[in-house]
Structure 1
Amino acid sequence: MKRAFDTGTGFLRSVLIAAAVLLSASLPMVAQERSVVVFAAASLKNSLDNAAGAWQRETGKKAVISYAGSNVLAKQIEAGAPADLFFSADLDWMDYAASKNLIEPRSRITLLGNALVLVAPKDDARDLTLGPNADLVGALKDGRLAMGQVEAVPAGKYGKAALEKLGLWDSVKDRIAQVDNVRAALVLVARGEAPLGIVYRTDAASDPSVRIVATFPEGSHPPIAYPIALTKASTNPDARGFLDFLRSAKAKRFFEQQGFSIIDKPVSGS
């Protein structure tokens, strides 16, 4: 009886060992198949979706992208949200993430540039010249100027800086509809809920319901730059591969088609 028990125990032990070996052998494959999680500025949606699709077709691997204002994303990463890559619409929020030790500094790249524009619904045929004498209040009539939150959202900060530089801020500061991200400002204009909005050139290109009525002079605001970096918390081996793909000619064409300019410059000292 004891012998039968020993035989059964030995068999069970063999099964458990075999199962453990099979499980350990499969773990690297499971890790490799995990989607790359990207936290990206809302203004990147069209071009980044296209790039992620191309990467998946080429490699069979998937990037899952969460879009929001860069300020919101940086705070979510700080709170422990699982992200492999952070793609910001300005340098300030990437600097914030770096100051909190949330990114891998050697991976940081300033990848893209953009331009700031004033948009109106597509049926609005007027054009405006943005300068100290521009009658922006008159152009708003009874409506409001849609833009990202001016103290937090990158497009809102750029917009406020440009309006201040052009001497227009004081006249419109009480007529602004501030929203959580630049795409929300675009939607307000596209739906006719705001007569004018400040968005990126690339946002205007993504929505046929709006038209550009003026472009802010480059010198009226800080240069618009989009940095990207791996997060410190990432353990996904495919995250670096997706970052490298975004720097490739295949991916860059999606950004250029949307109206971004290519910078692709590693941060000094990284």
Structure 2
Amino acid sequence: MKFTVKQGQLRTRSHLRQWLMGVMGLCLLILGLQGCPQSGTTLLVGAASSLTDVLEAITPAFHTAHPTIAVNYNFAASGKLTQQIQQGAPLDLFISAAPHYMDQLERNDQIHPDSRRPITQNRLVLIVPSDRPILTQLTDLTQPEIQRIAVGDFRTVPAGQYTQAMLTTTQLLPTIQEKLVFGQNVRQVLAVVAAGNADAGIVYRSDVQASDAVRIAFTLDPATYPEILYPAAILTTTRDRTAAATYLDFLLQPDTQRTFQRYGFMPLPGSDRPS
């Protein structure tokens, strides 16, 4: 492109400055049309509360690998997040602590089904305040000195639903029903036990690392409740499916999976990676 300056056109420094700025602006426009980087994307991820620590831990590595994609999180119970999505919350991805919530969204055509995949799994554990005597078996919960047992809400909290299934399978639910106190997400359950406001609680194995004020009494038999898989999927409300797919792929990278395991999660079924 050729620029011509006619004699007498640039009579003052002000005119010269304006002309130079115009030329620079045109050059920048041309460069932009030739492929200058576009502005970055911010993803909003709705994720189960039990994923709080691990997802926040992996985010810096994701940003280093993909500096034009920022990630913000909305952590809550999976049932609550599902309700928000059904009501039109503008999320890009959803990571649930139970497959049946993702099933609901898939039936309603609110996820891209070809993007759905499990990213990790977990186990239930019985916890007690770190300054209390340890319990050794599930029937210890029937002891009279165990007066309050914190669990997730059976209606909306996957950890609570897995707990309900376990207590039903073991036929213990009717005996301890009156002792149960319910949290709105699994981190509330952890906090209640950590504060000494419950004598015991049932949470995911991965949650225990978030508090020094609790300890694991024992791991609950996984044969007594459904497999705890965390499915993730891209929502149809996403504003940038390519960026969302990039994030989802990152969750399954070997280094990311090792981070999940450092935070107490289990390897995916069929994985030969050590826990």
Q: TM-score, normalised by structure 2?
A: 0.82
Give the letter for the 1:161 counterpart. Answer: A
* 2:239 is the alignment partner of 1:235: yes
1:49 to 41, 44, 56: 56
Cα pair distance change 1:140/1:75, threshold 3 Å: farther
Q: Which residues in structure 2 correspond to 1:25-44 (within 5 Å)?
A: 29-30=38-39, 33-44=40-51
Paired with 1:37 and 1:28, the residues of 2 have a C-alpha distance of 21
Give the letter for the 1:259 counterpart. Answer: G
For 2:268, what is the secondary structure of its paired residue?
A: strand
Contact kept, 8 Å, 1:111 with 1:264, in 2: the verdict is: no
Bigger radius of gyration = 2
1:217 to 213, 218, 221: 221
Q: Which runs of 5+ in 1 are unaligned?
A: 1-13, 266-270
2:198 to 191, 194, 198: 194
Q: Which residues in structure 2 correspond to 1:1-270 (within 5 Å)?
A: 29-30=38-39, 33-60=40-67, 61-130=69-138, 134-138=139-143, 141=146, 143-236=147-240, 237-263=242-268
Give the letter for the 1:261 counterpart. Answer: M
Deviation digits for residues 137-173 of structure 1 (CA, Å, limit 9, x no counterpart): 32653x3211111122100000011111112100111
Contact kept, 8 Å, 1:146 with 1:196, in 2: the verdict is: yes
Structure 1 segments of 4+ aligned residues over 4 angstroms from their partners: 24-28
Paired with 1:41 and 1:204, the residues of 2 have a C-alpha distance of 15
Number of aligned residues? 246
With CA pairs under 8 Å and 6+ residues apart, which has the higher RCO, 1 or 2? 1
For 2:231, what is the secondary structure of its paired residue?
A: strand
Deviation digits for residues 188-243 of structure 1 (CA, Å, limit 9, x no counterpart): 00111111111000001222111011211011101111000000111213111111
Paired with 1:264 and 1:115, the residues of 2 have a C-alpha distance of 13
Identity among equivalent pairs (%): 33
Deviation at 1:27, TM superposition (A): 10
Q: CA RMSD in A?
A: 2.6
- Higher mean C-alpha deviation, range 55-64 or range 43-52: 55-64
For 1:120, what is the secondary structure of its paired residue?
A: strand
Cα pair distance change 1:139/1:194, threshold 3 Å: same
